[in-house]
A and B are shown apart, each in its own frame.
Chain A
Amino acid sequence: MSAPLLETKKVSMVFGGLVAVRDVDMQIEEGEIFGLIGPNGAGKTTLFNMVSGVLKPTSGRLIFAGKDYTGLPAHLVCRQGIVHTHQVVRPFRNMTVYDNVRVGLQFGGREHARRESTHDQVMEILEYVGMAGRAQELARGLPIGYLKRLEIARALATRPRLLLLDEVMGGLGPTEIDATMDLIRRIRDSGITIFMIEHHMRAVMGISDRIMVLHHGETIALGTPREVSQNPVVIEAYLGESAV
């Protein structure tokens, strides 16, 4: 088997006296959809923020495509090919949808993406996520479903190798969830590896190849959706001891 695309080696994050993430070892293979679940406060977003360079781990190493990038600032992590969406959407509110995508195209991703940014490329991405008709609208006027898509569109514009999705299903209705699951599968099929945090169990169980469960900052289970959902430790973490 080839080397994993992303590897974390005993990464930990300590805020003051609180250990948010403790010694997490993880390997994500190229081309898979890797789900990350866990109860609230388990440290999922903290782990994401370390992988994307927003936070520098207190200890441990981060390796992407065989290269150690621990401590690299966020914008350079993005240019290596790792991009993330935000749990609470953070569009550039007073920009058009079009310009939001243009930021990703012009600045993000690996070298080739930064050299040229054309109208066609922007529109291609907007069509891909189904937002071409809203290109000239201001981001601040969009409903939440579209804002979630815009997060994905902007991230895709950086031409990533690894896409980190932080609860993209949150706040969506059942049909929108199905459409987003379909979109995520299409993104994976186009060659982009997906690492996603998701609370919506049907979605995450339905599309993940493997799932990791985090509880109190530590990995308590790792495996296929089927293995994880039958794991007694996981059931206990979610439902409490009496449920076992």
Chain B
Amino acid sequence: MRKYWPFMLLFAMVVLPLFLGLAPNLDLGFFSYYYFLNLGFITFVFVAQAVAWNILGGYGGQISFGYSAFFGLGAYTTAVLWGMYHWPMVLTFPVAGLVGVIFAIIIGLPTFRLTGPYFSIATLGIGEAMRVLMLNINSLGGASGMNLPTTIPGKMWFYYAGLILVSGTLAVSAWVRQSKFGLALFALNMDQNAAASLGVNVALYKNLAHMLGAFIVGMSGGLYATYFQYIHPDQVFGFQASISLVLMPVIGGVGTLWGPVLGGTIYYFLEDTLLSSLPSLHLLVYGVLLVLIIVLEPNGLLGMAARVQRWWRARQKEHTVAFPDAGKGALP
């Protein structure tokens, strides 16, 4: 049973819209069919990115704040190829991913010479540099952004496209975890020099993980651009896009398979609520949240769940095993 629940979850995600689609005009005030499809698509895209970030950031322990560059480049690649060169829409997604990969190699070569916090600091400026660059390239819309064609498939199509992206990403992440590649990432995460002295090509595996993450985030950028039909440098290259990619796995449980899924799902709900209720303070809330999690439970919600489970088991044991005869018999 334990083993099959991911497939049951996937099955539920596949049939839920079909079921709800029986009554597409049903409106419960806060919930409707179209709201569900919209929420589903956006959550899938965010979660796919969080899972992709987690390969290098979680398994490999290399915390990068530069992933919005891949997201934005993917979005712009799709916008250019589809909007300006009239490529078939679906074909632009893998190209968007590949542009991300090329950029990952370019920034990986210098930044991976740094380790620990120095690497993270070096990646801070990458998204921002791309944002400023794109604001000034007028042939790509510059500061007015870019419009994409409006001839897009329906919401149902996007829902399933997002579902395919997130399932594929999770499958890749699960494969990495148990592969030789994953073993190298875990080893270099825990002790880079010890890993190298045992023959692990540290630079190679860091770059591979970075490229893999960039491919997925680039594709998701392309998909996102087609859905919203309009992109702007501030939005796709914004610092918040990078921060949210770090926050999602951290909330859920960094370095675990399902942590980023949990974190990404919660994050999107949180953002939706916070943006409408505390529009000017929502970044502060993230900051406080990040500090609290790192101080109190570095393994995120999954770590917290494991702690509760251990506590519960210990409690059960105390009651059933420690004094099996307690309460029986009479006092002398």
Contact = CB atoms under 8 A, between A and B. Distances in A.
A86 interface: yes
Contact of B198 (A73, A94, A108): A108
A108 B180 CA distance: 12
Interface in A42-75: 52, 54, 73-75
Contact of A102 (B183, B194, B197): B183
B199 A92 contact: no
B196 A95 contact: no
Interface of B is mostly: helix
Interface in A108-128: 108-109, 114
Given A54-B193, A106-B180, A92 B200 contact: no
Interface in B173-198: 180, 183-184, 186-187, 190-191, 193-198
A133 B62 CA distance: 33
B201 interface: yes
- Interface centre among A75, A83, A154, A157, by most chain B C-beta atoms within 10 angstroms, is A75
B191 A90 contact: yes
Contacts, number: 74
B202 interface: yes
Contacts of A95: 186-187, 190
Contact of A107 (B186, B191, B198): B198
Interface residues of B, number: 17
Interface in A74-107: 74-75, 78-79, 83-84, 86, 90-95, 99, 102-104, 106-107
A6 B194 CA distance: 22
Interface size class of A (residues with CB under 8 A): 20 to 34
Given A103-B183, A106-B180, A106-B183, A75 B200 contact: yes
A102 to B, nearest CB: 6
A128 B265 CA distance: 48
A84 B193 CA distance: 11
Interface of B: 180, 183-184, 186-187, 190-191, 193-202
Interface of A: 52, 54, 73-75, 78-79, 83-84, 86, 90-95, 99, 102-104, 106-109, 114, 154-155, 157-158
6 contacts: A91-B191, A93-B191, A94-B186, A108-B198, A109-B199, A158-B198
Cβ-closest 10 pairs across A and B: A108-B199, A107-B199, A78-B199, A90-B194, A92-B190, A74-B196, A107-B200, A104-B198, A108-B198, A103-B187
Given A73-B196, A94-B190, 14 more contacts: A54-B193, A74-B193, A75-B201, A75-B202, A78-B198, A86-B197, A90-B193, A92-B191, A93-B191, A95-B187, A106-B180, A107-B180, A107-B184, A107-B195
